[in-house]
Amino acid sequence: MPYAANEDLPQSVRAHLPPHAQDIYREAFNHAWEQYGGEEETAHRVAWGAVKRLYVKQGSDWVRRGL
């Protein structure tokens, strides 16, 4: 189930990630979904990994690395 827009992402993702990180998550998830034949758990892991390359959690907020 690829996501067409950030509004389609799970509430747990939308509630915690800033908009740019949501874009990264959605694009990585959709690519992994296709790459791994619809393996949802794998696609979510890949998506979180992509977010963590550019964002880090500080307290309860996700902030861009190096800013």
pLDDT tens digits for range 9-61: 999 999 999 999 999 999 999 999 999 999 999 999 999 999 999 999 999 99
* Overall domain count for the chain: 1
Cβ atoms of residues 9 and 18 within 8 Å: no
Which residues 6+ apart lie within 8 Å of 65 measured at CB?
Answer: 53, 54, 55, 56
Give the per-residue pLDDT at 54. Answer: 97
> How far apart are alpha carbons 51 and 55 in whole angstroms?
6
Tell me the CATH number at 36.
1.10.1740.70
Q: Is 48 contained in some domain?
A: yes
Question: Considering the entire predicted model, what is its pTM?
Answer: 0.93
Range of the domain at 37: 17-64
Q: Is 12 contained in some domain?
A: no
Give the per-residue pLDDT at 4. Answer: 97
